[in-house]
C-alpha cells in the first residue's frame, strides 16, 4: 500500500514536471501481475468504468468506440489506446492518468496476447 502511494506521487510529480509527452513507466508497480489477464475477466471493467462514457456506441469521441472486444483489442493492438493511457501530459481518460496498478493490467493483457477469455 505504501509503495502504491509512492507510485501515485511519482505519477503526479512527473505530470507536473514534464513538458513532453513522456510515458510513465510501469516499473514502479509494486505487485507484478502473475495471473493471465483477459478482456472479459479484467480489461472490460476498466474500459467500461473509465472510457465508454465518451467512447461509447453513439457519436464516440475521436470516432473511437470502445464497447466490444474487437474495438478495444484493435485500439490496443494497432492504435493509441496503450500510449494514451500512459501519456502523462495528455492521458486517457482526460480527467487524469489512471493508477499504475490499473495501467499494468492493460500492459499485461498485451503481453498475454490480447486474450478475450
List of residues contacting ligand HEC (CB under 6 A): 50-51, 53-55, 61-62, 64, 66, 75, 79-81, 84-85, 90, 92-94
- Residue tagged 501481475 (cell numbers): 33
Closest to ligand HEC by CB, 53 or 111: 53
Name every residue whose Cβ is closer than 8 Å to that of residue 92 and which is 6 or more positions away in sequence.
51, 81, 84, 85
Closest to ligand HEC by CB, 32 or 63: 63
Closest to ligand HEC by CB, 3 or 83: 83
- Output the smallest distance, CB 103 to ligand HEC, in A: 9
Closest to ligand HEC by CB, 53 or 68: 53
Q: Which DSSP string do the residues of 79-106 spell out, in sequence order?
A: SSHHHHHTBSSS-SSTT-PPPHHHHHHH
- Output the smallest distance, CB 36 to ligand HEC, in A: 21
Burial class (CB in 10 A: 0-12, 13-18, 19+), 69: middle
Amino acid at each position: 500500500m505504501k509503495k502504491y502511494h509512492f507510485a501515485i506521487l511519482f505519477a503526479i510529480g512527473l505530470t507536473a514536471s514534464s513538458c513532453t509527452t513522456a510515458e510513465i513507466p510501469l516499473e514502479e508497480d509494486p505487485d507484478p501481475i502473475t495471473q493471465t489477464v483477459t478482456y472479459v475477466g479484467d480489461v472490460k471493467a476498466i474500459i467500461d468504468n473509465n472510457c465508454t462514457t465518451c467512447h461509447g456506441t453513439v457519436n464516440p469521441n475521436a470516432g473511437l468506440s470502445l464497447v466490444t472486444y474487437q474495438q478495444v483489442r484493435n485500439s490496443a493492438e494497432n492504435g493509441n489506446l496503450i500510449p494514451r493511457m500512459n501519456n502523462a501530459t495528455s492521458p486517457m481518460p482526460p480527467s487524469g492518468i489512471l493508477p499504475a496498478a490499473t495501467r499494468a493490467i492493460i500492459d499485461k493483457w498485451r503481453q498475454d496476447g490480447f486474450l478475450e477469455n
